[in-house]
Amino acid sequence: MDHSIKSDLHLHTTHSDGRLSPSDLLTLCCERGLSTISVTDHDTTSGLQECEALSLEKGLDFIPGIEFGAKAKRGEIHILGYFINRHDCALQGVLSDLQEDRKTRAERMVALLCQTGTPVSWDRVSELADGGSVGRPHIAQALVEKGYASHPKDAFDRLINWKAPAYVPRKLIQPKEAVDLINGSGGLAVLAHPLESKAKSGRREIFELETTIESLVEFGIVGIEAYYGDYSADQIERVVSLANKFGLIPCGGSDYHGAGNPIEPEPGDLGPPIESIELLKNLKTS
């Protein structure tokens, strides 16, 4: 596999839970020598138009993307969409519902934090979201500012992870619906981060992974994230093997949020080979 050209197909901006604006993120990607990128904000396409325009200015090959959370037998799985049409009516209808749920969930978590002795201001959380998709990373940042945690991952691990008293589950769509929305908008669906990641709080291997992949293939996914964030060589090899077994394209990216966590990968630290980018583009145009 050819990794001589750096790519990153999993990036987040302030339009969801990333810390960098589209302009700052794309500037960082250029500084780090990336060629092809995809911005995959959670449950929103609001930053894609700006990212497309900036990519054109900066000479970056840009793939419009999104990241959905979907129900699983245990917990949730994430599904990435590449080459999506942000104007698709069905897609935007679902995203509107998910955005409203995100706001309600965050408000409930802030209320619970106040009840459990680690109060943060909802106004400050909203300010940190800066008009984007509000979520736990903004709450974590507020907790760090108040001195309740040393960094955002510490806040997640102790105060707002799925085992914590202030945790509130978020609304998740079914995996088939996520894939259908992506495919219906002209995109390509890819299973994100299937294995444990030490850089992400609570990120565990997907329960019954091969059975899950088999179902997703039937629904219409075309890829799986193998070259992900902080994955070890053994983890990459395992996911590439699964990709080969199920006829999927091995994709990848840093899942960069700019959150200030001490072990967070940077854009381009790990990404897909040139062959994977070409396979995705060929599928899109076929």
Task: Give me the residue spans of the domains in the chain.
Answer: 6-95+174-285, 103-160
**Tens of pLDDT, residues 156-179:** 889 998 888 899 998 899 999 999
Q: Is the pLDDT of residue 13 over 90?
A: yes
Fold of the 6-95+174-285 domain: TIM Barrel (3.20.20)
**pLDDT of the residue at 283:** 97
pLDDT, averaged across the chain: 94
Contact in structure between 254 and 222 (CB atoms under 8 Å): no
Counting residues of the chain whose pLDDT is more than 90, the rounded percentage is 81
**Tens of pLDDT, residues 53-69:** 999 999 999 999 999 99
Please state which CATH number belongs to domain 103-160. Answer: 1.10.150.650
Q: Is the pLDDT of residue 199 over 90?
A: no
Q: What is the spatial distance between Cα 65 and Cα 62, in angstroms, rounded to a whole number?
A: 9
236-239: long-range contacts at Cβ-Cβ below 8 A with a sequence spacing of 24 or more? 238/195, 239/194, 239/195
pLDDT band at 129 (very low <50, low <70, confident <90, very high): confident
Q: Span 68-92, mean pLDDT?
A: 97
Q: Span 233-239, mean pLDDT?
A: 97
**pLDDT of the residue at 201:** 58
6-95+174-285 and 103-160 in the same fold: no
**pLDDT of the residue at 202:** 63
Q: Which of 6-10, 224-228, 232-236, 282-286 has the lowest mean pLDDT?
A: 282-286
Q: Span 37-45, mean pLDDT?
A: 97
Q: Is the pLDDT of residue 262 over 80?
A: no
β-partners of residue 70 are: 77, 173
Residue 145 CB contacts under 8 Å (≥ 6 apart), including other chains: 124
Taking the whole predicted model, whether its pTM rises above 0.75 is answered as yes
**pLDDT of the residue at 163:** 85
**pLDDT of the residue at 19:** 86
